[in-house]
């Protein structure tokens, strides 16, 4: 049985925009973690080069090595994504492409992952999250099925200063983080993950 130690979740927002609703959702997640879990924000997606197999060799680009080491060191990952043209934003897909290598020993393989997203539209980020689940399935990440955190009309639920103002959104995000923490501990207890 795994001792009750502090769990570290690495959070990535798929938006590069400074005043992003998704970055605000990720910051809110840091405040809503269950006891024994922390979310550390990785906000360097914009520094990653476009995936190029010619660069995927020793020495790795420093930004790529940093991303992979942060994912490897984390117990789980929280991906918060906007929706771009009915799919995953290019910056987030690029990060996942880098994190999916090397095949069979990638930082994300077997890693517990939770997904959330915010959009001003009426459907939230449902299409982006479907696409994201397909990518993560190909990588063999262990994606939490529920709850689905699809923050629609996010401008009514997240204030201009980036504060989550909607109790239902807070509760869903809290439930997602609790589920991710349970999944991490269950995988540790079963021997699927090592500390």
Could you read off the pLDDT tens digit of each residue along the chain, which spans 195 residues? 445 789 999 999 999 998 999 999 999 999 999 999 999 999 999 999 999 999 999 899 999 999 999 999 999 999 999 999 999 999 999 999 999 999 888 999 999 999 999 999 998 899 999 999 999 999 999 999 999 999 999 999 999 888 999 999 999 999 999 999 999 999 988 876 654
Residue 18 forms part of a structural domain? yes
- Which DSSP string do the residues of 104-146 spell out, in sequence order? TS-TTTT-EEEEEEE-SSTTTTHHHHHHHHHHHHHHT-EE--S
Nearest Cα to Cα of residue 151 among 108, 194, 190, 121: 121
Q: Which residues pair with 11 in a beta bridge?
A: 41, 78
Q: Name residue, tokens 């910051």.
A: 27
Q: Which residues pair with 78 in a beta bridge?
A: 11, 114
Domain boundaries, position 146: 7-189
Residue 109 sits in a domain of what CATH number?
Answer: 3.40.50.360
Residue 1 forms part of a structural domain? no
DSSP symbol at 162 = S
Our count of domains for the chain comes to 1
């Amino acid at each position: 049985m795994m001792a009750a130690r502090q769990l570290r979740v690495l959070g990535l927002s798929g938006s590069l925009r400074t005043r992003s609703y998704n970055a605000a959702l990720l910051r809110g997640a840091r405040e809503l973690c269950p006891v024994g879990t922390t979310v550390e924000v990785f906000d360097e997606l914009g520094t990653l080069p476009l995936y190029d197999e010619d660069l995927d060799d020793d020495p790795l680009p420093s930004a790529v090595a940093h991303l992979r080491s942060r994912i490897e060191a984390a117990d789980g990952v929280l991906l918060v994504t906007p929706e771009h043209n009915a799919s995953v934003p290019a910056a987030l897909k690029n990060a996942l492409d880098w994190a999916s290598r090397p095949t069979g020993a990638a930082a994300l393989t077997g890693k517990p992952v939770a997904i959330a997203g915010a959009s001003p539209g009426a459907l939230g980020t449902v299409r982006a999250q479907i696409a994201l689940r397909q990518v993560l399935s190909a990588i063999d990440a262990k994606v939490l099925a529920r709850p689905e955190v699809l923050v629609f009309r996010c401008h009514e639920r997240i204030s201009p200063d980036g504060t989550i103002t909607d109790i239902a959104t807070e509760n869903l995000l809290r439930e997602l983080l609790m589920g991710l923490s349970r999944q991490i501990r269950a995988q540790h207890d079963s021997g699927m993950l090592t500390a």
